Chains A and B, each alone.
Chain A
Amino acid sequence: MGFQHYKNVEIRGLAACVPKNIEDNRQSQLFSTDDQKKMFIETTGVISRHVIANRDICSSDLCFEAANKLMYELNWKREEIDCLIFVSQTPDYIMPATACILQERLGLSNECFAMDISLGCSGWIYGVSTVAALLQNGYFKKGLLLAGDTSTVTKSKKDKSTYPLFGDCGTATALQYKKGCVGFKAHTATDGKGYKAIYIPHGGFRTFYNSRSSKEIEFPDGNIRTNLHTILDGPTVFTFGISKVPLSISGLLKHFNIDIELIDYFIFHQANKILNEQIRKKLKLPVEKVPYSIEYYGNTSSASIPLTMVTKLKNKLESGNCRLIACGFGVGLSWGTIYFETNNIICPEIIEI
């Protein structure tokens, strides 16, 4: 079974950066009726989102700002960073790995372990697991996880099933070796059968960019996309979410014998309000233990969990101990849950550029 326990590693800080440009769904011209717009906002929970204005900002730029701020606040020296993991599906280039570019931009040592992970909604969970695995034996002492996406770039502005749902964000998570601390108890899982539930048909090497790639196609639901835009099969993702996520969380709690009542907060990937609320209700969690950032940031892919923590739990995280469950789920299909504890971590105010 997909359970793991990464010991001796803790989170020391979290930071998030968004573009300052805001798009408000209440002003959107995409919907054919007001009723349709109202229902969209009520169902997804997305009122407005931070969206890059002119393709002038990459995910790595947002992560770079978050990492700089976080290292400064933590008083971490650049040469102390032993590993850098960049989680994104909107990298700078097809090659090389964006983590290599970020190593240089951030002024990290040449002795730094750096690589990219291509995951989205589950990405922060996999990123934390990977950094924790690298740090757990104490050879490496400090690691940076940079997770974020400029998802709006991959969505068609004429597609009301995707464009108004997503927002752009980059985050930085600082992890450190600490002998004896509880670390991360994890459950991770994959179902590649659903790979077409969220995907971009062209532009990779299975179907390389060609003359048909950027041709606009009108779909039966009235949405217009090209083959370089994300297709999102909402109902498939929805049934996946309500089936697998509660089982992943209850399975983790049972496997590690964790009392659900002792958890202070459950931080979920911000998929959409109706899906997240259904998961919350199935697990019988009280509203106050399940924070949301989706209202004013949208679905921010791999940034959603740290973004929710920075925007909704800053004060709690900075002053005292928290027992937390975080769960990411989506594109892949891929999902994962971690249990971890924090103790007075550094959590700077959200950055806007």
Chain B
Amino acid sequence: MEKIVVNDFIAKFKDALNADNKEIFLDDKFRDYDEWDSMRYLSVISMLDSEYDVIIEPKEFQKIETVRELIKEVEKRQNK
């Protein structure tokens, strides 16, 4: 079972959000971030596809609330 390196994921996630100085924690509800908008959403989907070869459909993505859950979902899909 392949595990995602958390710090690595957070760096990529931060990059996708275009928020260099932001502190990101695993239990953050990322939709509550001031920066979060539809453009960041596309940017995150795009990052997951490029970096992890995972495409999460909007219906499934909606159920994900925290950064931790997002990592878990990516891992689950990578190991399918």
A238 to B47, CA, bound (A): 12
Q: B58 to A235, Cβ gap below 8 A?
A: yes
A-contact bits for B28-51, CB 8 A (1 contact / 0 none): 000000010111111101100110
A278 to B47, CA, bound (A): 9
Measured between beta carbons, the chain A residues less than 8 angstroms from B46 are 238, 242, 274-275, 278
Measured between beta carbons, the chain B residues less than 8 angstroms from A40 are 39
Task: Count A interface residues, CB 8 Å.
Answer: 23
Q: B61 to A274, Cβ gap below 8 A?
A: no
- Residue ID in chain B nearest A44 by CB atoms: B39
Q: A239 to B58, Cβ gap below 8 A?
A: yes
Q: A278 to B43, Cβ gap below 8 A?
A: no
- Residue ID in chain B nearest A234 by CB atoms: B38
Q: A239 to B57, Cβ gap below 8 A?
A: yes
Given A235-B58, A235-B61, A239-B55, answer yes or no on A35-B50 (Cβ-Cβ < 8 Å).
Answer: no
Task: Count B interface residues, CB 8 Å.
Answer: 18
Main secondary structure of the interface of B (DSSP, over half): helix
A284 to chain B, nearest CB (A): 12
Q: B45 to A43, Cβ gap below 8 A?
A: no
A274 to B50, CA, bound (A): 12
> Does B78 have its Cβ within 8 Å of any Cβ on chain A?
no
> Does A281 have its Cβ within 8 Å of any Cβ on chain B?
yes
A310 to chain B, nearest CB (A): 28
Q: A243 to B42, Cβ gap below 8 A?
A: no
Measured between beta carbons, the chain B residues less than 8 angstroms from A274 are 42-43, 46
A345 to B18, CA, bound (A): 43
Measured between beta carbons, the chain B residues less than 8 angstroms from A275 are 42, 46
Given A35-B35, A39-B18, answer yes or no on A236-B40 (Cβ-Cβ < 8 Å).
Answer: no
> Does A221 have its Cβ within 8 Å of any Cβ on chain B?
yes
> Does A111 have its Cβ within 8 Å of any Cβ on chain B?
no
Given A239-B57, A242-B55, answer yes or no on A43-B49 (Cβ-Cβ < 8 Å).
Answer: no
A36 to B37, CA, bound (A): 8
A161 to B39, CA, bound (A): 9
A36 to B43, CA, bound (A): 13
Given A239-B58, A278-B49, answer yes or no on A43-B39 (Cβ-Cβ < 8 Å).
Answer: yes
Q: B35 to A235, Cβ gap below 8 A?
A: no
Measured between beta carbons, the chain B residues less than 8 angstroms from A272 are 42
Given A235-B61, A239-B57, A239-B58, answer yes or no on A39-B45 (Cβ-Cβ < 8 Å).
Answer: no
A235-B41, A278-B49 given. 9 additional CB < 8 A pairs?
A35-B35, A39-B40, A234-B41, A238-B45, A239-B55, A242-B45, A274-B46, A278-B46, A282-B49
Residues of B within 8 A of A (CB): 18, 35, 37-43, 45-46, 49-50, 55-58, 61
What are 26 residue pairs bridging A and B, where the CB atoms are less than 8 Å apart in the complex?
A: A35-B35, A36-B37, A36-B39, A39-B39, A43-B43, A234-B41, A234-B42, A235-B38, A235-B41, A235-B42, A235-B45, A235-B58, A236-B57, A238-B42, A238-B45, A239-B56, A242-B45, A242-B46, A242-B49, A242-B55, A274-B42, A274-B43, A274-B46, A275-B46, A278-B49, A281-B50
